[in-house]
């Protein structure tokens, strides 16, 4: 059984694969102070809920946007799983040429999403990840990683708005009734939900124009379901795009 771990700035999403089937997956908050022992205990407890043991995990791979957590996950695997966990980064085979100025600065999650999107859609293609940031990653018709866009995420933007505006309330991410809000809450909802949808449509249109192709676009990330229904350029949502990309990268390096 393969363990795949996606460590984000806000949440850690991980799952287990048997062959091509994602058997189970979980999310928990990414705590930058977590030790290898704490991660091992959390993993064991969650696996036991599905009658799976640590001994059932024969291989593993991690991608992390939190530098201090990657070595803790690798150490956890060595201590409790009895094998060396692969980590997405320089030296790992990807099967995808990286055509940016400094490939070493490319975020692991962005590369993983690009690999998974290309495997699913072919080239050219675009992945849009709604996480702490909104990441747009672009693959060429030849399957090369070309670069992308990083924009402030939905929750970051909402936090900034309500913390800087003393009279502005925190809201739930519920679709507004109309673009023209009849009250403060509806106005904020319109700005966040419709505003991000308009950003996505505008950015994807610009990327497609630069590519000179109507590249299919796939979305992922915990907040995608709030924004994507109000876009016109996203073709599909895949909640497990990053986990599937990790499985593909493990296969490249097995």
111 and 204 co-located in one domain: yes
Q: SS3 of 70, please? A: helix
Is 239 inside any structural domain?
yes
User: Across residues 116-131, what is the average pLDDT?
Assistant: 97
From the list 109, 137, 144, 238, the catalytic residue is: 109
Over residues 4-17, mean pLDDT = 95
**CATH code: domain of residue 171:** 3.30.420.40
Q: Are 123 and 31 contained in the same domain?
A: no
Q: Classify residue 217: in a domain, yes or no.
A: yes
Domain co-membership, 26 together with 117:
no
Closest CA to 237 of 133, 120, 78, 93: 120
Task: Look at residue 77 and give its three-state secondary structure.
Answer: helix
- pLDDT of 172 reads 85
Q: Is the per-residue pLDDT at 254 higher than 90?
A: no
What range defines the domain where residue 241 resides?
A: 103-246
pLDDT at 51: 87
Tokens of 75: 């150490």
Q: Which of 87, 112, 134 is the last residue of a domain?
A: 87
Name the domain count of the chain: 2
Q: What is residue 193's predicted lDDT score, i.e. its pLDDT? A: 96
Confidence of residue 50 (pLDDT cuts 50, 70, 90): confident
Task: Please give the Cα distance from 194 to 187 (Å, whole number).
Answer: 10
Reply yes or no on whether 109 is catalytic.
yes
Percent of the chain whose predicted confidence (pLDDT) is above 70:
100
Last residue of a domain, which of 87, 121, 156? Answer: 87
Cα gap 198→101, rounded to integer Å: 29
Q: What is the mean pLDDT of residues 107-126?
A: 97
For position 162, what pLDDT does the model report? 84
Please give the average per-residue pLDDT across 145-167, as a whole number. 91
Could you tell me if residue 253 is inside a domain? Answer: no
Inform me whether the pLDDT recorded for 78 exceeds 90. yes
Q: What pLDDT was estimated at residue 183?
A: 93
| Beta carbons within 8 Å of 71's beta carbon, 6+ residues apart | none
**Domain match, 171 and 51 both:** no
Q: Give the pLDDT of residue 145.
A: 98
pLDDT classification of 167: cutoffs 50, 70, 90: confident
80-118 burial, b for 16+ CB within 10 Å, e for fewer?
A: bbeeebbbbeeebebebeeeeeeeeebbbbbbbbbbbbb
**Shared-domain flag, residues 169 and 202:** yes
Residues 61 and 166 in one domain: no
Write the DSSP symbol of residue 17. Answer: E
Q: 109 and 81, same structural domain?
A: no
Tell me: pLDDT of 166 over 80: no
120 and 73 both lie in a single domain: no
Q: Is residue 61 included in any domain, yes or no?
A: yes
**In the predicted structure, residue 163 carries a pLDDT above the cut 90:** no
Average pLDDT in the 48-75 region?
A: 94
Band (pLDDT 50/70/90 cuts) for residue 149 is: very high
Residue 31: predicted pLDDT: 95
- Is residue 252 domain-resident? no
User: Does 11 share its domain with 76?
Assistant: yes
Q: pLDDT (tens digit, 9 = 90+) per residue, 191-208? A: 999 999 999 999 999 999
Say if 96 falls within a structural domain.
Answer: no
């Amino acid at each position: 059984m393969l363990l795949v771990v996606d460590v984000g700035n806000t949440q850690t999403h991980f799952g287990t694969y048997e062959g091509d089937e994602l058997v189970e997956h979980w999310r928990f908050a990414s705590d930058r102070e977590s030790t290898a022992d704490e991660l091992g205990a959390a993993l064991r407890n969650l696996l036991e809920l599905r009658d799976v043991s640590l001994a059932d995990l024969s291989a593993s791979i991690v991608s992390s946007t939190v530098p201090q957590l990657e070595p803790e996950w690798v150490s956890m695997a060595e201590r409790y799983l009895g094998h060396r966990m692969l980590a997405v980064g320089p030296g790992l085979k990807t099967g995808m040429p990286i055509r940016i100025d400094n490939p070493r600065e490319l975020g692991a999650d962005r590369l993983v999403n690009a690999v998974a999107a290309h495997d699913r859609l072919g080239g050219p293609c675009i992945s849009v990840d709604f996480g702490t940031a909104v990441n747009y990653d672009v693959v060429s018709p030849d399957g090369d990683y070309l670069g992308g866009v990083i924009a402030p995420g939905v929750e970051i933007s909402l936090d900034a708005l309500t913390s800087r505006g003393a009279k502005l309330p925190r809201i739930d991410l519920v679709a507004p009734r109309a673009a023209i809000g009849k009250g403060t809450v509806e106005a904020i909802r319109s700005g966040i939900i419709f505003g991000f949808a308009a950003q996505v449509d505008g950015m994807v249109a610009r990327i497609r124009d630069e590519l000179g192709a109507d590249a299919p676009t796939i979305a992922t990330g915990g907040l995608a379901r709030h924004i994507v229904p109000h876009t016109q350029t996203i073709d599909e949502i895949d909640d497990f795009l990053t986990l599937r990309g990790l499985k593909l990268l493990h296969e490249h390096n097995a």
